[in-house]
Amino acid sequence: MVPASPAPQQALSTLSDDERLFRASVAEFADREIRPLVRAMDDQAAIDRRLIDGLFALGLMAIEIPEAFGGAEASFFHAVLAVEAVSEVDPAVGVLVDVQNTLVINALRRWATPAQLSACLPRLARDTIGAYALSEAGSGSDAFALTTRAVRRGDAFVLTGRKLWITNASEAGLFLIFATIDPAAGYKGITAFLVDRLTPGLTVGRKEDKLGIRASSTCELILEDCAVPAHQVLGEPGRGYKIAIDTLNEGRIGIGAQMVGLAQGALDHAVRYVKERRQFGRPVADFQGVQFQLARAATEIQAARLLVYNAARLRDAGLPFLADAAMCKLLASEVAERTASLAVNLYGGYGFVKDYPVEKFYRDAKIGQIYEGTSNLQLQTIAKHVLA
């Protein structure tokens, strides 16, 4: 008897019906609700509150939160699809969705106690934005050199220090803050705390005036005798380094998705433009030199997308994905920069002015090589894997 042939392997880029419908609904929302606001939000360096409400209403701020807590109970891959689709229109909104889902909610789902889950997840699903506060002025790539102190006092830990570069800080209601309970213990002193915005002693400080993703808030966080009840430690005291490593490894895939979306958004604009723009009596798209540039960009985007999708699917399958996540962020951020630069070039002089959308993609692309681990740090992770 001939054995039944195995089910054909699906292509990495093949989406299930559910994934396809989800992605289409996010893309439709982004086109209808985000696109008209992109220019104004970039100029004003702020995300429209009504838009944030819309993101919550569509379930995009609670993608992996279980339905019992008011979330969509979907997969990490869905979160990646959402970040990609939103970032095609506005990468600044993309990172808002990304930090909420791939860092804050992810950390809670893995490490929170049942009481913490009940206290935080319904809020995050309903209307509360989360922020992830690890970096400080003196500790970026060397994140565990952080100096924010947490000192035990009775039933609380008292936090003192300053955090820098905290995405979503202007809007956030809940902060995941990393501090050390024992500087002498090195990384083994790092502890993660769930801190409500209204906690006395917590102040959101200066908002950065940025090159790109300007609508996304990036602020300093000042902690002065900020007493956080001990039951708001996430995981165990001294295990914060593990929470940071695990969440950032996954968050990196989200940034890869943000950069793939950005690159696709820039390419789509460029393609439309070169079909319309006429020089030498023909559309610019007729020139083979231009066609080949577009073909190369499309190829690079697809390669980056496949790396992102593969890393996300590995993560959902519970398989190792550390090097894959680093590779996808490294490549996607470089492709985003190259594609956005090409789009500016193909718009000619119009690419250099704010009346057209591509200069913003060019500015927005740069951050992909910096946050959630610079490109050098991704190369370090990949090199360790190669040399192992």
Ligand X SMILES: Cc1cc2nc3c(=O)[nH]c(=O)nc-3n(C[C@H](O)[C@H](O)[C@H](O)COP(=O)(O)OP(=O)(O)OC[C@H]3O[C@@H](n4cnc5c(N)ncnc54)[C@H](O)[C@@H]3O)c2cc1C
Is there binding between residue 247 and ligand X (CB under 6 A)?
A: no
Nearer of residues 93 and 297 to ligand X, judged by Cβ: 93
DSSP code for 140 = S
- One residue of 19, 374, 382, 385 binding ligand X per CB under 6 A: 374
Cα separation, 54 vs 25, whole angstroms: 13
Tokens 């569509």 locate to: 58
Residues 167/132, Cβ–Cβ less than 8 Å:
yes
The interface with ligand X within residues 22-61 (CB under 6 A) comprises none
DSSP code for 30 = I
> Least distance (Å) from ligand X to the CB of residue 241?
13
> Least distance (Å) from ligand X to the CB of residue 83?
14
Is there binding between residue 241 and ligand X (CB under 6 A)?
A: no
Cα separation, 95 vs 103, whole angstroms: 11
Is there binding between residue 133 and ligand X (CB under 6 A)?
A: yes
Is there binding between residue 10 and ligand X (CB under 6 A)?
A: no
Is there binding between residue 170 and ligand X (CB under 6 A)?
A: no
- x/- track of binding to ligand X for residues 134-153 (CB under 6 A): xx----xx------------
Cα separation, 313 vs 338, whole angstroms: 26
Is there binding between residue 217 and ligand X (CB under 6 A)?
A: no
CB-facing half-sphere around the CA of 42: CA atoms within 13 A: 23
- x/- track of binding to ligand X for residues 351-370 (CB under 6 A): ----------------x--x
- One residue of 69, 132, 175, 193 binding ligand X per CB under 6 A: 132
CA distances from 58 to 27, 33, 62, 69 (A): 12, 11, 9, 15
Element (DSSP H or E) covering residue 162: strand 156-167
276 is catalytic: no
Cα separation, 95 vs 203, whole angstroms: 22
Catalytic residues: 372
Chain residues in the site for ligand X (CB under 6 A): 99, 132-135, 140-141, 165-167, 210, 218, 367, 370-374, 376-377, 380
